[in-house]
Amino acid sequence: MLSPTQILDQYYLEARRDLLEIAALLDRYDAARLRDGADDGNHVQRDILRRALTHLADSETPSGERTSTLLELFAET
């Protein structure tokens, strides 16, 4: 099994890429709302994503449970 340092060395850049994709998705969403000027009131998926990101950023989250917690969150849709 990999050490903590090895895990970051191995997967940091992929995590960086994935976070940038999420940031770009949210920017794209905001730009579309600004451009179209329409609000259909259906932002459930956007809210789920925000809750997921907040959950990941929470340092109090029990170690090793982040993935299953997110899966439960996504199941709400």
Rg of the chain taking only CA atoms, in angstroms: 16
24 near another protein (CB under 8 A): yes
31 near another protein (CB under 8 A): yes
CB of 27 to another protein, least distance (A): 7
- Which of 71, 76, 20, 19 is closest to 47 using CA atoms? 76
21 near another protein (CB under 8 A): yes
Between CA 11 and CA 69 the distance in angstroms is 21
Among 1-9, 25-33, 41-49, 55-63, the segment contacting another protein (CB under 8 A): 25-33
